A and B are shown apart, each in its own frame.
Chain A
Amino acid sequence: MTPSRRGFLAGAGLVALAGCLGNSTSELSGSRSLPTAEEQLPLPTSPENLRDAARSGGPPKDGIPSIDEPAFLDASEAGFLADGDPVFGVVRDGVAKAYPQKILAKHEIVNDSLAGTPVTVTYCPLTGTVQGFERGNTTFGVSGRLINSNLVMYDRHTDTWWPQMLATSIPGPWNGDPEIQSLREFRLVWTSWKQWRDQNPETEVLSTETGHAKNYSRDPYGSYNPPGGYYANETLLFGGLNPSDRFDPKRVVMGLRTPDGAAAFAKNALREAGQLEGAVGGTPILAVFDGRYDTAYGYLNPDERSFDRDGNRLVDAAGTSHEPDALPLSRVHTFDAMWFAWAGYYPETNVYQ
């Protein structure tokens, strides 16, 4: 009995010690230089109410470790990826990069740079959202808290909370009075490894050599290839802010928001229709499907210009043909999200299908 008791006490001591050590973070010194958006994005409620809606997801701060020194491989070296595996792709100044979902499911944040610009690539498995942000001289980490089931990031200079989908600072326990501002976003395309590689054969791929001892073949939530587990069922683990039964909770919508409001297009409806019209804050918008990547782009379309589809391209009234991601309109940041998460953050959203 005595040895067992000693062993248990020693174990409890280790856990207590670990609890102390676990709160140490890699905070950055000096003043923060973070590029922010010219206009603040809409919030569903006050920043204080959002702070109060935060809940622990289980892990402590940085318990889910961000990748801070990412390494990349050539496409031919990425044997760990199957054709149908999801990747999040971006091209900047002719350099294409793919971030595999199976790696980001374990880290949620990659602090990287694109064409010399410091950026952070973020992914929340629970809401199915991928967002890219400029990060200036800071890095972002995983706070361990969730709002609307969505990742809450923090910046390592000021400890300010930044809910991923809202892309806007809110007060939190580590910084109670931050300036409320929105991050500069950039688009990452959620597509399959095959589709990305076919379009970008010279692409680099995030390596599994992340500096962390993880098993990247195991996604505890489920699977996208084939669909299964949390990603495919209707069960929420942490719930949403504003429940809506308009669609199945995990149905994927392509969402966009401007300072004037939000709109969501059902992705499968876009896939079938090719393009859908809508409005956000009274301004007409146009969403077009891109079969190359199985994704879609949203545009402000104040003059309500129309386009004819010619295969995957769109032809304007003058007969000029355009790729779906390059229409002569003002493109709005658009990204995939599970319906419950979009409706939770943007309950007044317009919906098109």
Chain B
Amino acid sequence: MAQLPFIAAIDAGIHQEMRRDPNVLYFGQNLATTENHEFVAEYGHDRVRVTPISETAEIGIAIGAAMAGLRPVVELYMAEFMLVAMDQVVNEAPRFRYMTGGQVKVPLVLKAGFGFAAGWAGQHTGSLTALFMGVPGLKVVVPSTAADAKGLMATAIRDDNPVVFMHHYLLTLEHGEVPDGEHLVPFGVAAVRRTGSDVTIVATGWMVNRALGAAATLAAEGIEVEVIDPRTVAPLDLDTILTSVAKTGRLVVVDQAPRHATVGGIIAADVAEFGFSSLKAPILQVNARDVTVPYSEPLEAYVIPDEARIVDAVRRVMQSGG
């Protein structure tokens, strides 16, 4: 085990797979600009390249390379930059296996940071995960710990499908224990970050830590919260969530996106449909307020869900219902 910052753990996952499989490529803007770049030095320019600011071509090239047998990882830096190339992400990469009747596979990873609520104002702070979650053919990964960042990246690279790897920018420098050597985290297996018997919270990315903070506060009041981190939202481990709700009878979903653009809302709908008989109270959602993320610090903090709003939602869900 080593203590690594989240961002280094992602790199460790990429290294692990590039050493193992010569078909893995790594490319994007602003990387591999000198021979000293750690990936260039180890793998060479056949496999590691800097690209111009051309997201459509970057992602499109990844698709073609993948169809021709390679496993590209595209460094996109910010999830918003995928919006420039939304056709390639949503209407090209995930369509080809299906439209060709299974003749091709498109194994690629789109590595994109999101949710940078640190004064980046309106265009670099979005929580866009739900945009990709419902696209058949895409897989969507949202790690919240350094260990998962490495293990989910490695699994994403080995997966034979296009994977959107959404890492939260505010976790970039968070340190965590990361297993040495080969480390893989399976897709579709949620992590129970804290066990509790009174209320289930489902959260992803940076919101997992906020939920855990809220749970600590609530424990002092005698409310035991179970915190579930799905880790991958496509595929989604609904079973672990339903099992938890069967135990607690109460669900709060926490999501950094505006209310009608959340993963949490989709999870809430699934639980309402498949776990209704377990529920003792209406499901509550804690989301960003329905605005573009503002620049000014107190306004930004007001818009993004914080521990106080999560605590408040849990208290309310405890008071409602039977």
Query: Do the two shown chains form a genuine complex with each other?
Result: no
Q: B residues near A, CB below 8 A? A: none
